[in-house]
Chains A and B, each alone.
Chain A
Amino acid sequence: MREKKIIDTNTFDWPIILIYIVMVLFGWFNIYSASWNESTGSIFDLSKNYGKQFLFICISAFVAIFWLFLDYKVFSLFSYAVYGILIALVIAVFVLGKEVAGNKNWIPIGNFNLQPAEFAKYAVSLALAKFLGTPDARLKDKFTLRVALTIFLLPMALILIQKDTGSALVFLSFSLVLYREGLSGIWFIMALCSIIIFILTLYFGSIWVSGIFAAIALIFYILSSRRKYLTWPVLLVTIAVIGFSSSINLIMDNVLKDHQKKRILVTFGLLEDLKKEGYNVHQSKIAIGSGGLIGKGFLQGTQTKLRYVPEQHTDFIFCTIGEEWGWVGSMVMLILFVALIARVYYLAERQKNRYNRVFAYCVASILFFHFTINIGMTIGLVPVIGIPLPFFSYGGSSLIGFTILLFTLIRLDATRSTEMSTLKDMY
């Protein structure tokens, strides 16, 4: 094995690479279309978004190839170092940060702005893989759990302070990795229950929700009065639910910012604010909805081109796809994403070493989170949270960040046939 200097390209997971290429190119055309008008020149015009995106694609391609031919050992070797550098960069934003659209999360480098948050996800993935990859790491162990949580909650907190709520929330996707690695499912059930109680409270008010839940608990208690051991848990859960439900108004008013609160209310149809907080989603729905079955055709979208949809080339790029390619085009895109994410989850499970597996789970979960939130927000199912659609949205940091993420995975996956030697090398 050692003699084989040239990496065998057959070991690369070509389906993922193909999906990646299709997505990036399709995204680029849509950015072009979103910025297009009669006077638009070449798609390579570097002064325009689509021209810059072309440049980012070239850089990404270069990075992708470079990463594929890197020695797989460097990832593991430099995991903590990369994590350290990225944490430093995220902190540096406080000092060097440039404010763009109200968010101070960019570091200017020449003509371009670097968004450390986009790369922090990669760094956390590496660090988490490295940490959970150590043979004695068990999530049942409280120390391990705390360290693992700290690895991703630290950058999340820092980014949250920088008011980039969207990017910060992405770090929650790492909890899915912990779930796979043994974290109790009860947390997710609790999270799900909280969301349901939250929504019910928004619709019916905390008094109704508390009252009805208390009534159900009482009936349950009476019916199961023989089983005394249930008394305390039922009581505790009831108190927790009533407490949570009653505090929702408090949270909405004091913890969340006004625009965040409004966005939530708009999503659940409890507030109509078509001029301001509801504007984006309303226009986005018009854009997508007016696409019909087969769309208005490439460059024919009016909603996006006439700038009715804000952020049409970044966070709301899906509007252009929906408007110009219709349901058919949207379906193609959805299938690509579902296939990609499912494929990565599938690849994760076939990894023979834990480092690789954890990393793969990180990649899949990040993509899953971005995909769900971004598409969900454009079609009005999720409150507006400004995060990009991987590989589609305009932006160098985002594209290059996701490229590195994906191609690190492909590089690591390519080594699974040599895992035995790998293991020997590593330890």
Chain B
Amino acid sequence: MSEGSSRNQSLIIAVIAIGIIFSARLFYLQVVDTSYVDLSNFNSKKILTIHPNRGLIYDRNNKLIAFNDNFYDLMISYPFNLKNFDTTGFCEIIGISKLDFLKRLKKADKTVYKGSAVFYKNLEQNKYAALQERMFDYEKFYIDIKTDRKYNTASGAHVLGYIGEISQKQLDDQDEENYYSKGDFIGLTGIEKYYEKELRGTKGEEVILVDSKGKLQGNYSKGKYDKIPLSGKKVSTTLDLTLQEYAEKLMQNKLGSVVAIEPSTGEILSMVSSPVYNPEELCIRNKRKNYGRLLLDPTKPLFNRAVTAAYPPGSVFKLLNGLIGLEEGVIYPETTFPCYRGFSIGRLHVDCHPHPPSLDLRGAVANSCNAYFCNTFREILENPKYKSPREAYIHWKDFMIQFGLSNKLGSDINFESKGNIPSPEFYDKMHNNKWGFSRTISLSIGQGEILITPLQMANVISAIANRGHFYTPHAIRKVDDKNAIPSKFKEKHKIKIQRQHFEAVVEGMAMTMVNGTAARTGIEGIEICGKTGTVQNPHGKNHSVFMCFAPKDNPKIAIAVIVENAGFGATWAAPVATLMIEKYIKKDTVSSKPELEKRLFEAYLLPKPKGLDTARIKHKKDSALKAKNESNKKKRTGKDHDSRHLAVNTYMILNEREEDN
């Protein structure tokens, strides 16, 4: 072999060697080391999240309550240089003066956050469109589109709740699905919170290609890997929007609450906690402006009295005592007890108001005879069937629990209170294990240590209307037009009291409206069964309470109304309830009692503003002046309103803290 051909071979070997080195290197880069795939994806693919439309909320008659709307905030990104900026053209498009432009710029300079600031909040739709076309001229400006709730009504805020940006804690605590990310909106209260999973929908994704200059180059693989967002489900509430708006109007300028339930289903037709706020006040774009004010308002508009506040029930509680007495066999509908302008035991005396003498159970209900129910309760506790009043009390309490008292009902309205029916241990401790009727006499007429929320009260009246059963009250009716409500709301809760006993009490309630405590508040053509209550309030004027249902046979609506510091039950609470019944059953737009309606619309029963509270909102500087004014006012009215609006009870304060958290 010549030298030339051996050199030739070495060259060919060199070529092959290079080929082998390269193929090995390529095998390492392409097959062994997979990190380049990630680097390539990181380079060129950006995943954009597309937020779904939040589910719409409807009322029971398919009226739209809450929907979504886009809001455009014109943002400015920094560093911003005014030089070479077409200020005139820009101002023309968004319709502001040059002076205003400079003012806004100054303001934006102060509020820069992460390199950008809001320049013009809530840009009008037409300006947005005009600006959009010329956006490329103003590269330092961009538009931030936010989807926010909008409402067709000013009512129902407490039930609907509101949405807000997810908190760090919620982010940390979320389940394995890890659906949420920073900046997402989430239902924070009410239906928005309880039905968050149904309402939120499913986020979509868009895989966008980004070139080396950072410019978007369209969807990857023509959108093959994109995920279309799924809109949230349509949630139909049980609310009757017309009734809700009407109830809120009746309750305006009053403290208190109204809960109306459809007895046959447990559906909440209306729930008012007065004072109300407009749901729009707490939507994303307005929340910052209003939340603090609402939180500090002494009348506590954020606080849902209908489920969170618990009151002594007053006379309406007599119905329960009557029912238990009948079931325990200690009284009969025909039983009569004497009433000597009240009831006395030892040094204790419970007053009664004038009414016809020698009443049977029906008459006692109708006339709300205190003596009759003191006797009834005594018979219950001193029932020879049981060894001791304590044992009898335990049985009595068991009935109360069957009615849904002393525990959270478990509705879908958040911040529910338990209320309170004292435990026997409570009295053991209080009275050194020696107690009986005389120590618990106030329970006969619904005063004392017992506390009931308006929702529980409405549930009780609903159970009475059903003659012995109830469904847990709830605000959900349909999801996506399907009856897919949680099964617990379809569960029938039976009360172990015979139907005939209910009939007897219902008779009495019917009489209440005819010749009893709430005579003249009835509505012609509707047989209403009601019971008034006047709750003694150690802090101020009595609370006016009324609960009723209608019609007597085949009830369609059961209502509990509490008007704080308003006095006798029939004066304020009863007309609110009966007018609502008329509205709901007759579906009339015009009331048969326009004067009564007008009186309610116009009545102002709110506590007068108090210096202490105002000072918390305003600057301290004003407080001296306010205090001075206040002392003058006090002299004028001669009465201290201080504790009035705070009077409800300790539960209210406790739960409020919960809400604040």
**Would you call B25 an interface residue if the criterion is a C-beta within 8 Å of the partner chain's C-beta atoms?**
yes
Contacts of A330 in B (CB 8 A): 23, 26, 30
Contacts of A259 in B (CB 8 A): none
Contacts of B15 in A (CB 8 A): 338, 341-342, 345, 368
**Assembly CA distance A110 to B213 (angstroms):** 32
**Would you call B483 an interface residue if the criterion is a C-beta within 8 Å of the partner chain's C-beta atoms?**
no
| Chain B window 211-236, contacts with chain A (Cβ cutoff 8 Å), 1 for yes, 0 for no | 11100011011100000000000000
Q: Is the CB of A180 within 8 A of B26?
A: no
Known A327-B31, A338-B16, A342-B16; judge A381-B7 contact (CB<8 A): no
| Chain A window 155-179, contacts with chain B (Cβ cutoff 8 Å), 1 for yes, 0 for no | 0000000000000000000001001
Contact segment of B39-47, B123-131, B560-568 = B39-47
**Would you call A308 an interface residue if the criterion is a C-beta within 8 Å of the partner chain's C-beta atoms?**
yes
Q: Is the CB of A292 within 8 A of B31?
A: yes
Contacts of A327 in B (CB 8 A): 26-27, 30-31
Known A307-B212, A327-B30, A379-B22; judge A286-B8 contact (CB<8 A): no
15 A-B pairs with CB atoms under 8 Å apart are A180-B4, A289-B35, A290-B39, A293-B31, A306-B43, A306-B209, A306-B212, A308-B211, A322-B30, A326-B30, A327-B26, A330-B30, A337-B19, A345-B8, A379-B22
In the assembled complex, the CB of A153 is this many whole angstroms from the nearest CB of chain B, namely 21
**Would you call A375 an interface residue if the criterion is a C-beta within 8 Å of the partner chain's C-beta atoms?**
yes
Q: Is the CB of B19 within 8 A of A286?
A: no
**A residues in contact (CB < 8 Å) with B:** 37-38, 176, 179-182, 185, 283, 285-293, 300, 302-303, 306-308, 322-323, 326-327, 330-331, 334-335, 337-338, 341-342, 345-346, 348-349, 364, 368, 371-372, 375-376, 379, 381
Contacts of B44 in A (CB 8 A): 302-303, 306, 308
| Chain B window 14-55, contacts with chain A (Cβ cutoff 8 Å), 1 for yes, 0 for no | 111011011101110111011111011101110000000000
- Identify the closest chain A residue to B37 (Cβ): A290
Q: Is the CB of A322 within 8 A of B45?
A: no
**Assembly CA distance A381 to B29 (angstroms):** 12
From A37, A185, A371, B18 is in contact (CB under 8 Å) with A371
From B26, B41, B209, B222, A322 is in contact (CB under 8 Å) with B26
Q: Is the CB of B7 within 8 A of A179?
A: yes
Contacts of A179 in B (CB 8 A): 7, 11
In the assembled complex, the CB of B222 is this many whole angstroms from the nearest CB of chain A, namely 8
**Assembly CA distance A422 to B23 (angstroms):** 42
Interface residues on B, range: 35 or more
The 3 A-B residue pairs with the shortest CB-CB distance, nearest first, are A289-B36, A290-B40, A338-B19
Q: Is the CB of B4 within 8 A of A308?
A: no
**B residues in contact (CB < 8 Å) with A:** 3-5, 7-8, 11-12, 14-16, 18-19, 21-23, 25-27, 29-31, 33-37, 39-41, 43-45, 209-213, 217-218, 220-222
**Assembly CA distance A300 to B225 (angstroms):** 14
In the assembled complex, the CB of A383 is this many whole angstroms from the nearest CB of chain B, namely 15
Q: Is the CB of B12 within 8 A of A346?
A: yes
Beyond A181-B4, A346-B12, A349-B8, list 18 extra A-B contacts (CB 8 Å).
Answer: A283-B43, A286-B39, A286-B40, A287-B40, A290-B39, A293-B30, A308-B44, A323-B40, A331-B26, A335-B19, A342-B15, A345-B8, A345-B15, A349-B5, A368-B14, A379-B22, A379-B25, A379-B29
In the assembled complex, the CB of B224 is this many whole angstroms from the nearest CB of chain A, namely 11
**Assembly CA distance A30 to B21 (angstroms):** 24
**Assembly CA distance A330 to B209 (angstroms):** 25
- Identify the closest chain B residue to A296 (Cβ): B40
**Assembly CA distance A289 to B33 (angstroms):** 7
Q: Could you say which of B7, B18, B26, B41 has the most chain A C-beta atoms within 10 Å of its C-beta?
A: B26
From B39, B211, B220, A307 is in contact (CB under 8 Å) with B211
**Assembly CA distance A48 to B210 (angstroms):** 22
- Identify the closest chain A residue to B13 (Cβ): A342
Known A180-B8, A345-B12; judge A37-B217 contact (CB<8 A): yes
Contacts of B11 in A (CB 8 A): 176, 179-180, 345, 364, 368
Known A176-B11, A302-B44, A341-B15; judge A289-B218 contact (CB<8 A): no
**Assembly CA distance A286 to B30 (angstroms):** 9
In the assembled complex, the CB of B413 is this many whole angstroms from the nearest CB of chain A, namely 51
**Assembly CA distance A128 to B11 (angstroms):** 19
**Assembly CA distance A379 to B21 (angstroms):** 11
From A38, A182, A307, A334, B22 is in contact (CB under 8 Å) with A334
> How many cross-chain pairs have Cβ atoms below 8 Å apart between A and B?
124
**Assembly CA distance A345 to B7 (angstroms):** 10
- Identify the closest chain B residue to A331 (Cβ): B23
Contacts of A375 in B (CB 8 A): 22
In the assembled complex, the CB of B37 is this many whole angstroms from the nearest CB of chain A, namely 5
In the assembled complex, the CB of A332 is this many whole angstroms from the nearest CB of chain B, namely 11
In the assembled complex, the CB of B293 is this many whole angstroms from the nearest CB of chain A, namely 51
- Identify the closest chain A residue to B215 (Cβ): A306
Known A289-B37, A338-B16, A371-B18; judge A302-B30 contact (CB<8 A): no
**Assembly CA distance A120 to B209 (angstroms):** 42
Contacts of A306 in B (CB 8 A): 43-44, 209-212, 217
**Assembly CA distance A126 to B599 (angstroms):** 115
Contacts of B30 in A (CB 8 A): 288-289, 291-293, 322, 326-327, 330
From B25, B27, B212, B220, A381 is in contact (CB under 8 Å) with B25
Known A180-B8, A338-B15, A342-B12; judge A288-B31 contact (CB<8 A): no
**Assembly CA distance A349 to B18 (angstroms):** 21
**Assembly CA distance A327 to B45 (angstroms):** 23
Contacts of B7 in A (CB 8 A): 179-180, 185
In the assembled complex, the CB of B434 is this many whole angstroms from the nearest CB of chain A, namely 86
Known A327-B30, A345-B8, A345-B15; judge A302-B22 contact (CB<8 A): no
**Assembly CA distance A287 to B39 (angstroms):** 9
Q: Is the CB of A288 within 8 A of B210?
A: no
**Assembly CA distance A320 to B210 (angstroms):** 17
Contacts of B35 in A (CB 8 A): 289
Contacts of B211 in A (CB 8 A): 306-308
Contacts of B212 in A (CB 8 A): 283, 306-308
Q: Is the CB of B29 within 8 A of A289?
A: yes
**Assembly CA distance A290 to B220 (angstroms):** 16
Contacts of A303 in B (CB 8 A): 40, 43-44
**Assembly CA distance A84 to B389 (angstroms):** 129
In the assembled complex, the CB of A92 is this many whole angstroms from the nearest CB of chain B, namely 35
**Assembly CA distance A376 to B34 (angstroms):** 20
In the assembled complex, the CB of A357 is this many whole angstroms from the nearest CB of chain B, namely 8
Known A334-B19, A371-B18; judge A348-B37 contact (CB<8 A): no
Contacts of B34 in A (CB 8 A): 292
**Assembly CA distance A345 to B14 (angstroms):** 11
Contacts of B37 in A (CB 8 A): 289-290, 292
**Assembly CA distance A326 to B43 (angstroms):** 18
Q: Could you say which of B35, B39, B211 has the most chain A C-beta atoms within 10 Å of its C-beta?
A: B39
Q: Could you say which of A302, A337, A372 has the most chain B C-beta atoms within 10 Å of its C-beta?
A: A302
Q: Is the CB of A286 within 8 A of B43?
A: yes
Contacts of A348 in B (CB 8 A): 8
**Assembly CA distance A285 to B33 (angstroms):** 11
Contacts of A326 in B (CB 8 A): 30
**Assembly CA distance A134 to B355 (angstroms):** 145
From B5, B25, B43, A302 is in contact (CB under 8 Å) with B43
Known A180-B11, A308-B43; judge A302-B220 contact (CB<8 A): yes
Contacts of A181 in B (CB 8 A): 4
In the assembled complex, the CB of A269 is this many whole angstroms from the nearest CB of chain B, namely 14
In the assembled complex, the CB of A312 is this many whole angstroms from the nearest CB of chain B, namely 10
- Identify the closest chain A residue to B45 (Cβ): A302
In the assembled complex, the CB of B14 is this many whole angstroms from the nearest CB of chain A, namely 8
**Assembly CA distance A182 to B7 (angstroms):** 9
In the assembled complex, the CB of A259 is this many whole angstroms from the nearest CB of chain B, namely 19
**Assembly CA distance A288 to B210 (angstroms):** 18
In the assembled complex, the CB of B39 is this many whole angstroms from the nearest CB of chain A, namely 5
In the assembled complex, the CB of B122 is this many whole angstroms from the nearest CB of chain A, namely 36
Contacts of B41 in A (CB 8 A): 290
Contacts of B220 in A (CB 8 A): 302
